[in-house]
Amino acid sequence: MQVTVDTRNPARRTADLLALPLTQLDPSHWRLPPRMAGVDRAAGGAILSLLGTGDFRGKRGETLVLYPQSGIGAKRVLLVGLGEENRVDAEVLREAAGIAVRATAERKGKTLAIVAPASRRVRVAAMTQAMAEGAILAGYRFDRYRSRRESTPAEVRSVAILLEKGAELRAARAAASIGVSVAESQNLARDLSNEPPNALPPAAMARAAQKLAREVGLRVRVLGPAEIRKRKLGAMLAVGGGSAHSPRLILLEHNAPVKARGGKRSSHRPTTICLVGKGVTFDSGGLSLKSPNNMVRMKHDMSGAATVIATLRAAALLKVPLHVVGIAGAVENMPSGTAYRPDDIVTSGSGQTIEVKNTDAEGRLVLADCLHLARSEFEPEALIDVATLTGACSIALGPWAAAVLGNNERLSDLIVKAGEKTGERFWPLPLWEVHREHMRSQLADLKQTGGRAAGTITAAAFLSHFVGETPWAHLDIASTADTSRSGPLQPSGATGFGVRALCEILRNWGRVKVD
């Protein structure tokens, strides 16, 4: 989908559909904003005449389609409600653009023009970025395995965002370009997570990462079983031991520092930020087998890795002035004669031993080795992991937010604020020393699970033993990584949650200090 920004007269713009986003209207006087009033005059007063009937009030998400007979260039006019004016923010505008794209596609349209509304709360650049994101996200669909696609909506090929004359076009177009890159990257994360598990075992995920790296100029390394064993990443190897598909450790780097002569890193190198993703391509629960109902949707257990891979793509396209490292531990958790068992004690890459309590708590073992590798090999300024880690998070926060825990309050606050700005909500949970002590084992250094109480927190407490003093945040996206519902921006399936927030953090990293 092509997204453009210009200041043309909306009434003269040729399109299959012209969208007019309107805030909630005052029944005592139906007044349209000036540019939309111009469209109404060109259409012979059809819009105001309809508003007088009360059929459209401008409530958030409300829509109504008009078919002007003449006077304007568009075939259809769509009124989109924004809700109360003082509550219009970037998420409302993102959603409005998505509604317009879906309405165009449902009517087999190919071209959409959408008038950017005047807003006191959202600057023009932020508005165009949000609307571009909404358009790209709403146009997403995953139908590559359907042999018949007649019933699916048409693909919208172009979206024009129409600004008022005098608007700063250069900044608006740059912001829209950012929105397109971020949203397309989020759609990549959706694609990876939506793939069926037979099509995306660990080796296939690694190939997808390598292909992406070639396309956008990332440095990539993939460690196979022999190299993982050589690095003594015993926790990750234990999880993958029951599957016919061997594990892969994927390392992506954007803006990697150039090595000086003698193999040493240059003293002048950008700040390093490490992102770590859980990449369990299918989770059967291992020998602690899940019930049939709970095993459905476990292809999405690699959503954290998908988010990390997609964020590295965006970092490259946006030329983020940081050294961004993405690490994805790709494994399949299956039961077999070679699978790891409850009561096993495994040795992690950090040298710490771990008593296994439940083979269905596999993600934290994979992350333990990946976090240790990130910390020891790259010495980052900050470390963020993303994982569908605990069902307890879904119970605590429902589908409306992900949990953030860590050892650095500034970093956690940064993530919460980035989520608020991008429409991806995070809620902080405590992580105290008592939680860390609770994860000590009587037989080994650590135990893998801490029981039902505070399950999301104790899982993070386990991970905290592998990050040392590095500023670290753990994002538990178990409740937000996929959905059975569809909305203006989201069909059922994978969400790509976290890409927008992580991109916001990386783009603005220079303004914050976490130490």
Q: Could you give the residue numbers annotated as active site?
A: 290, 364
Give the number of other Cβ atoms within 10 Å of residue 9's Cβ. 14
Measure Cα distances from 414 to 53, 314, 318 in Å: 47, 19, 20
Element holding 326 (H helix, E strand): strand 323-333
| Residues constituting the chain | 515
CA distance 185 to 233: 30
* Residue given tokens 């309107």 in the structure block: 22
Calculate helix-pair angle for 409-422, 499-507, nearest 10 degrees.
120
CA distance 394 to 479: 4
Element holding 276 (H helix, E strand): strand 272-283
Encoded amino acid at 373, one letter: L
Burial 467-483 (b: 16+ CB within 10 A, else e): beebbbbbbbbbbbbbb
Angle at 330 between CA 203 and CA 355, to 5 degrees: 135
Secondary structure of 369-417 in HEC code, one letter for each residue = HHHHHHHHHHCCCEEEEEECCCHHHHHHHHHHCEEEEECCHHHHHHHHH
Encoded amino acid at 506, one letter: L
Measure Cα distances from 382 to 352, 371, 411, 513 in Å: 22, 11, 8, 10
Three-state SS at 82: strand
Give the pair of three-digit tokens for residue 200: 């995306």
The DSSP bridge pattern shows strands 272-283 and 323-333 to be parallel
The DSSP bridge pattern shows strands 402-406 and 472-476 to be antiparallel
* Burial zone of 153 (CB within 10 Å; 0-12 exposed, 13-18 middle, 19+ buried): middle
CA distance 102 to 61: 12
Give the pair of three-digit tokens for residue 227: 């190299």
Three-state SS at 460: helix
Encoded amino acid at 18, one letter: L
Give the pair of three-digit tokens for residue 296: 């459905």
